[in-house]
Amino acid sequence: MEAFIHGALLAFGLILPLGIQNIFIFNQGATQKRFGKALPAVITAAICDTLLISLAVAGVSVVVLRVEGMEQLLSLIGFFFLMYMGWIMWKSNPQDGQNEIGPYSARRQITFAASVSLLNPHAILDTIGVIGTSSVVYDAHEKVVFAFASILISWLWFLGLALVGSRVSQLMKSASLMKRLNQGSAFIIWGMAIYLVYRVFI
The pLDDT of residue 156:
94
The pLDDT of residue 97:
44
The parts of the chain modelled with pLDDT lower than 70 are 16-18, 61-65, 71, 92-103, 122, 129, 169-178, 196, 199-200, 202
The pLDDT of residue 155:
94
The pLDDT of residue 8:
83
Judge contact between 92 and 175, C-beta under 8 A: no
Distance separating alpha carbons of residues 191 and 82, to the nearest angstrom? 9
The pTM (predicted TM-score) of the whole model is 0.74
The pLDDT of residue 96:
46
| DSSP conformational letter for 17 | S
Count the domains in the chain.
1
Residue ranges making up the domain that contains 113: 2-201
Torsion of CA 118, 119, 125, 130, to 10 degrees: -20
The pLDDT of residue 16:
67
